[in-house]
Amino acid sequence: MTIEERSPTPPLPDFHIDETLLEEFNKQLTDTTASLNVEQLEQLRATCLGSVWRHRMEWERDGLVRELMELVREFVQEVRVDFDDEGDS
């Protein structure tokens, strides 16, 4: 019986995320979602997880964080518009 030697697995690329950008995202989430109800937060979470899934193979995560920041901004803006429309009724 012969045993084949396997070549070593190549090293994975370095994972990168800008800590300052991540802190900005954290602050944005805290500041802009405080008034959302549980259902709205669940919807936002599902939307964000879709982006995370699409970017799952990327080692450079700054683009993902920027996309998430934009998603949160748009979502909160839409919730506010809906709330304003309900108040006008």
pLDDT tens, position by position, 4-62: 888 888 888 898 999 999 999 999 999 999 999 999 999 999 999 999 999 999 999 99
Residue 6 belongs to a domain: no
On the CB side of 43, how many CA atoms lie within 13 Å of its CA? 13
Phi/psi at 6 (5° precision): -90, 145
pTM value surpassing 0.75: yes
Report the number of distinct structural domains present in the chain.
1
Write the CB contacts of 74 (distance below 8 Å, at least 6 apart in sequence): none
In a domain, 72, yes or no: yes
In a domain, 63, yes or no: yes
Is residue 8 a part of any domain in this protein? Answer: no
Q: Is 32 part of any domain?
A: no
The Cα–Cα gap between 74 and 13 comes to 32
Q: Which residues constitute the domain of residue 69?
A: 37-88
Q: Output DSSP code: residue 6.
A: P
Place of tokens 């080692």: 59
